[in-house]
């Protein structure tokens, strides 16, 4: 058998330094072309150990290009442990995805307390004014699988891991303050209903199908949550622009053992803003990673997302007097009833270094609480306390998931839990039990310095059932609908109409309409009209006497209640350009936009350089083909006869204008680009009413402030159109 010289390994990139970093791709191609000559590279012997490609056992790999064979054209050899290790590891790189919340995006940050809250809680993050606590936050959709789109109509997970001085506290919430069900017993049924139907595996990341609506139409307790799901809350503009809620009622316990109830609220400083349905559908095709990309790029550019944490604090006596039960997760407490007390601010300031190691392997559990935070008797919360820990064992392979770096607390872990798969730590000594004398009794229980469950009195019989107040399912759904603006109401009606139009079983639609009649006749009639159905009789209520609600209208339930404090910071602005564009007016406008924090993108009919009228060059980093209008918050159309004529010849320009107008986004029209509206057959209007601002090129300075103000408002109303379109 002829002996072949070993193929030379490619040297590492000069930019690559660190264990496990492979060589430069261009060099790999160069060396691959030289493989036929079988020349060894003498520089291989001089590589620093840290730069070498190795196996998982630390053995340096001489050739990462070819399988070990008997001759260049001979059979592969089983002894090639490098190949076998590489392929075997590749075959096992995927772990089970989360059953729900599979698709997520995350970031590191810090929480800073405003003032000490020691009168209410001994929890470490609130111990002193100005105290900082590291956090890791994961946002997610609920129904879709790991590879599904970001802009699905869905609840969004909002989970925060606080790495406190007294262990990890996980506040595992959503972007909606209520939930579909009251008791964890129904959680598997809910998830089975909303997931793709088992006989054909469709639809993906969507609730618009028979099994979901069959389930919720038979579960009136879901009605309030359906209002939120069909609202614009379910299609946020950005993860940075949505609220977060702890959903459940929790207890705060102070150092004296005194307790109050509380609910947690996260309010975004960028304001609460949403997409519209047509926008969400188009974005899902143009950029399925829209929300993930937005979060990453904002943090990467230094525009850190911020939220204010607020608490609704109330006593058991107050809770008993409410017309609803605070242990019912399908109910909220209106801010008019219990105001939200701002207690701190969270800033996300660092992206994950590795998506799998951090975003995918992070394990949130509602059972992870610290001294000062305790549970209520919410029956849905009770099930979650078990479920979250249980699912991590399957997903991450063992009960040792707390040793994965992103899950590890900052404080020392000291107990007698031992062994198990994937154990990282190594305990020393012979003692692994308590009490003991051989180890001096260590580790000792902490007594009152540790977590002490609040001694809530329990004197009841064992029973399956629900309290009487749990039986009222419609008053808060009505409160939510009545608190929306006219446009938001129209969107809710349109969403119900769309979702139920996808339901094949007529009896399900009929049943859902009868339930909606108990919420609002306006709502039910609007949905029925869109389905070509007559209104049925209202579904019988479970309570004989409907209580009088404390609040009939709550402005805080509308997205418009939180416009934000950040103006146009991070807003994405498309500026269409072509050769001979008028440079001076663009500089005026883009300068004003950038000064206020907007992100300006030059968009052409192709990417690359364009020559302006003054001979300078503008670089289009995006094209109308790869970055459609739905990805931007506002549009600037340029001056310049030649440039405008070029844009007019491209149908994508008309699509840009049409989508911006349809979605009620501001447009700044400079000079002759006004003719583009004529070609698109769209009446321009002017100013606030239409969201379209026109000026001659030399007047750009004067119109820019009004344009910026319109962008900050997110959208403008269109009274002359079907509100459901926008």
Place of tokens 């969107």: 491
Task: Report in angstroms the alpha-carbon separations of 497 from 483, 527, 657.
Answer: 20, 5, 27
With contact defined as beta carbons under 8 Å apart, do 209 and 203 qualify? yes
DSSP 663: T
- DSSP reduced 3-state for 345: strand
Annotated catalytic residue within 35, 38, 39, 101: 101
Cα angle for residues 334, 338, 341 (degrees, 5° grid): 115
Residue 653 near residue 647 (C-beta atoms within 8 A) = yes
Residue 160 neighbours by CB under 8 Å, 6+ apart: 111, 135, 136, 137, 170, 171, 172, 173, 244, 266, 346
CB 237 within 8 A of CB 170: no
- Cα angle for residues 110, 113, 117 (degrees, 5° grid): 145
Q: 300 near 448, Cβ under 8 Å?
A: no
User: DSSP letter at 4?
Assistant: P
Task: Tell me how far the alpha carbon of residue 128 is from its chain's centroid.
Answer: 30
Distance CA 239, CA 105 (A): 9
Cβ neighbours, 10 Å, residue 675: 16
Report d(CA 200, CA 211) in Å as an integer: 12
Reply yes or no on whether 174 is catalytic: yes
- DSSP H or E segment with residue 394: helix 379-396
Structure tokens at 146: 């790991």
How far apart CA 24 and CA 1 sit, in angstroms, is 34
The alpha-carbon radius of gyration of the chain (Å, integer) is: 30
Three-state secondary-structure class, residue 401: helix
Say which residues have a Cβ less than 8 Å from residue 399's Cβ, sequence separation at least 6: 393, 417, 420
Nearest to 680, CA basis, from 631, 715, 629, 616:
629
Q: 165-191: b or e for each residue (b if 16 or more CB lie within 10 Å)?
A: ebbbbbbbbbbbbbbbbbbbebbeebe
563-to-241, 297, 456, 566, 596 alpha-carbon distances in Å:
10, 22, 41, 9, 16
Of these residues, 168, 174, 351, 518, which one is catalytic?
174
Q: Cβ–Cβ contacts within 10 Å for residue 461, how many? A: 4
Strand, coil or helix: 54? strand
Length of the chain: 726
Is there a contact between 7 and 68 (Cβ–Cβ < 8 Å)? no
Record the tokens describing residue 4, joined without a space.
């072949």
Contact 349, 110 (CB under 8 A): yes
**In terms of Cα–Cα distance, which of 226, 234, 177, 236 is closest to 520?**
226
Active site residue 101: yes
Q: Six-digit token pair at 613? A: 């009228």
Tokens of 268: 């975004």
Catalytically active residues are 101, 174
């Amino acid at each position: 058998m002829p002996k072949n010289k070993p193929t030379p390994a490619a040297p590492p990139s000069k930019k690559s330094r660190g264990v496990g970093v492979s060589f430069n791709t261009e060099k790999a191609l160069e060396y691959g072309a030289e493989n036929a000559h079988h020349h060894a590279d003498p520089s291989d012997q001089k590589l620093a150990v840290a730069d070498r490609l190795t196996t998982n056992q630390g053995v340096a790999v001489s050739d990462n290009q070819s399988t070990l064979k008997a001759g260049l054209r001979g059979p592969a050899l089983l002894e090639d442990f490098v190949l076998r290790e590489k392929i075997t590891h590749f075959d096992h790189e995927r772990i089970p995805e989360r059953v729900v919340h599979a698709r997520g995006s995350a970031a590191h940050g810090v929480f800073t307390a405003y003032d000490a809250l020691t009168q209410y809680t001994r929890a470490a993050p609130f111990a002193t004014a100005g105290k900082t606590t590291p956090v890791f936050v994961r946002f997610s959709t609920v129904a879709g699988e790991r590879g599904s789109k970001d802009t699905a109509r869905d609840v969004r997970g909002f989970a925060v891991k606080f790495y406190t001085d007294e262990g990890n506290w996980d506040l595992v919430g959503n972007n909606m303050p209520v939930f579909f069900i009251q008791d964890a017993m129904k959680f598997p049924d809910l998830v089975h209903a909303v997931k793709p139907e088992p006989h054909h595996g469709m639809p993906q990341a969507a609730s618009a199908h028979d099994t979901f609506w069959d389930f919720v139409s038979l579960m009136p307790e879901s009605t309030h949550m359906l209002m939120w799901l069909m609202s614009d809350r379910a299609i946020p503009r950005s993860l940075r622009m949505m609220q977060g809620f702890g959903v459940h009622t929790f207890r705060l316990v102070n150092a004296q053992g005194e307790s109050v109830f509380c609910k947690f609220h996260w309010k975004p400083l960028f304001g609460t803003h949403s997409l519209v349905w047509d926008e969400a559908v188009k974005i899902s095709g143009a950029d399925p990673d829209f929300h993930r990309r937005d979060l990453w790029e904002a943090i990467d550019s230094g525009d850190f997302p911020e939220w204010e944490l607020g608490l609704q604090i109330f006593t058991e006596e107050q809770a008993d007097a409410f017309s609803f039960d605070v242990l019912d997760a399908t109910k909220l407490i209106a801010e008019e009833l219990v105001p939200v007390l701002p207690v701190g601010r969270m800033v996300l300031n660092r992206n994950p270094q590795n998506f799998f190691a951090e975003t995918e392997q992070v394990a949130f559990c509602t059972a992870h609480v610290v001294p000062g935070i305790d549970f209520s008797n919410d029956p849905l919360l009770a099930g979650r306390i078990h479920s979250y820990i249980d699912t991590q064992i399957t997903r991450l392979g063992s009960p040792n998931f707390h040793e994965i770096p992103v899950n590890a607390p900052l404080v020392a872990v000291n107990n007698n839990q031992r062994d198990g798969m994937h154990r990282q730590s190594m305990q020393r000594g012979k003692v692994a039990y308590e009490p003991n004398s051989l180890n001096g009794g260590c580790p000792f229980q902490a007594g009152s310095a540790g977590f002490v469950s609040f001694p809530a009195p329990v004197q009841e019989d064992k029973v399956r059932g629900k309290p009487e107040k749990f039986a009222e399912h419609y008053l808060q759904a009505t409160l939510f609908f009545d608190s929306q603006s006219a446009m938001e109401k129209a969107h809710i009606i349109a969403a119900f109409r769309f979702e139920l139009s996808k339901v094949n079983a007529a009896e399900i639609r009929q049943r859902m309409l009868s339930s909606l009649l108990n919420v609002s006749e306006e709502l039910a009639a609007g949905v029925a009209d869109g389905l070509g159905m007559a209104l049925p009789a209202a579904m019988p209520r479970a309570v004989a006497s409907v209580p009088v609600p404390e609040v009939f209208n709550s402005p805080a339930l509308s997205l418009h209640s939180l416009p934000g404090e950040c103006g146009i910071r991070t807003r994405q602005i498309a500026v269409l350009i072509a050769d001979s564009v008028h440079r001076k007016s663009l500089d005026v406008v883009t300068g004003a936009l950038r000064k206020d924090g907007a992100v300006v993108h030059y968009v052409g009919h192709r990417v690359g350089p364009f020559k302006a009228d003054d001979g300078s060059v503008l670089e289009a980093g995006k094209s109308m083909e790869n970055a459609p209008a739905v990805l931007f918050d506002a549009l600037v159309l340029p001056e310049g006869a030649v440039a405008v004529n070029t844009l007019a010849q491209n149908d994508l320009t008309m699509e840009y204008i049409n989508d911006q107008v349809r979605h009620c986004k501001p447009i700044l029209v400079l000079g002759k680009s006004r003719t583009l509206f004529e070609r698109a057959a769209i009446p321009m209007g002017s100013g606030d009413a239409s969201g379209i601002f026109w000026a001659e090129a030399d007047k750009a300075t004067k119109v820019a402030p009004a344009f910026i103000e319109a962008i900050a408002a997110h959208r403008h109303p269109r009274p002359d159109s079907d509100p459901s379109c926008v």
